[in-house]
Amino acid sequence: MNEERKSAIYLAITQAVMEEIKANQIEVVNDRNSRVPVSISARHVHLEKAHADILFGKDYTFQKYRDISQPGQYACEEQVTIVGPKSEIERVRIVAPLRKQTQVEVSRTDGFTLGLKPPVRHSGDVSGSSPISIIGPKGRIDLEEGCIIADRHIHMSPMDAQTFGVENHQKVQIQVDGEKAGIMGNVTIRVSERYALDMHIDTDDANAFAITGKEYLRLIK
């Protein structure tokens, strides 16, 4: 194939791609500033002080297992059992530090196992969410609400948000390359001085897109 023919083919492909982007009103951020690291968030539990006292004993001190992506937060050595109407799941880690309200984060698959239909929510928004029980070494708590599926989200500092050209609570799309490439939509931007740049997805999303947690994914607005 001669060079002129190759150039014509490349031009046609480029034009087709640009037309597709324009037709779907997708804006691709400059590649230099478009990629975010991703972490896979397995099922876990955040505890408020009163519930920690019941499950582990008064003023119990949780032991760090490993740091997670957000400054000051860590997965604990301590684990609990979460119980739904159908089944239970053992060895679910506590994530510290303690919070104002207890929250259990699971995947949709976990919900099927437990016999629950947790709503997709922002972290901390547990009003009207699924009931669930938690069993620890010292006791048990039965929550009328508190079990959610965390929404796909990206933590950013204000400087990161400026770099990416996005705002707090904005919804964006994420492009995944590789063997199971695709687009993840309804990804929420969360901006705070306390945050480090990182995207959080659950195990269902990770499996669907063959994500290992070592990738940098492209942000699309």
Report yes or no on 12 lying in a domain. no
3 compared with 221, residue with greater pLDDT:
221
pLDDT in tens, 150-177: 999 999 999 999 999 999 999 999 999 9
Q: What is the pLDDT of residue 34?
A: 86
1 compared with 135, residue with greater pLDDT:
135
Same domain, 133 and 77: yes
Same domain, 216 and 123: no
Domain boundary among 89, 115, 150: 150
Report yes or no on 17 lying in a domain. no
Same domain, 182 and 195: yes
Q: In this structure, are strands 103-105 and 140-150 parallel, antiparallel, or unpaired? A: parallel
Same domain, 30 and 59: no
Report yes or no on 2 lying in a domain. no
CB atoms within 10 A of CB 132: 27
Answer whether residue 17 shows pLDDT above 50. no
Domain boundary among 150, 168, 190: 150
Same domain, 49 and 122: yes
CATH code (residue 210): 2.40.40.20
Report yes or no on 140 lying in a domain. yes
Report yes or no on 8 lying in a domain. no
Same domain, 70 and 167: no
Q: What is the pLDDT of residue 221?
A: 83
Question: In what helix (H) or strand (E) does residue 145 lie, and over which residues does it extend?
Answer: strand 140-150
Output the CA–CA distances (angstroms, integers) from residue 218 to 11, 26, 102, 140, in the order listed: 24, 13, 33, 43
Same domain, 185 and 117: no
Same domain, 105 and 32: no
Q: What is the pLDDT of residue 151?
A: 98
The closest of 168, 207, 158 to 188, measured between CA atoms, is 168
Report yes or no on 177 lying in a domain. yes
Same domain, 74 and 108: yes
pLDDT in tens, 24-75: 544 444 454 689 999 999 999 999 999 999 999 999 999 999 999 999 999 9
Report yes or no on 173 lying in a domain. yes
pTM for this model (two decimals): 0.83
Report yes or no on 214 lying in a domain. yes
Same domain, 144 and 215: no
| Domain coverage including residue 197 | 26-38+153-220
